[in-house]
Amino acid sequence: MTPMPGKSQPYSDAVLNVLRGTGITGVSPYLGLFSVAPADDNSAGTELAGAGYARQPVTFGAPVSDTGNVRKISNAANLQFGPASSDWLPAVAFGIFDAQTNGNLLYWNTLPTPKTIQMGDFGQFAPGSLVVEED
């Protein structure tokens, strides 16, 4: 299980703006992979590109309780990238975006172990392994 502690600065602002009467609009989330990790300060990082790579749509289950005051959701189905048409750069991080291309990064985290997807191979996240937490 990989919780996502990183929240982009624009998304943090959107959450805080709820207290100012500005609502957050629901999104259709997509998962992306990074060869250089983004940062909470709005540093974009470097998303993988080309060679069969594309962001993948994510379906999350309903929020549930975790330790303390934490609420969380996780992916309901297997997420699969590829197949790679040539070796990809090592993926060191992943993020949730609000669009399949371009769009805004919402959450991100580093991978426990960098992963190189080689030609003909796939990158995968098993059901329940992608966790987003809020407290």
pLDDT 10s digits, 69-127: 888 899 999 999 999 999 999 999 999 999 999 998 988 999 999 999 999 999 999 99
The pLDDT of residue 4 = 53
The model's pTM is 0.85
Q: How far apart are CA 58 and CA 106, in angstroms?
A: 13
DSSP code string of 29-96: -EEEEEEE---TTS---EE--STT---EE--B---EE-STT-EEEEBSS-EEE---SSPPPPEEEEEE
> Phi first, then psi: what are they for 110, rounded to 5°?
-85, 155
Sign of CA dihedral 67, 79, 25, 48: positive
Q: How far apart are CA 62 and CA 73, in angstroms?
A: 6
Q: Look at residue 14 and give its three-state secondary structure.
A: helix
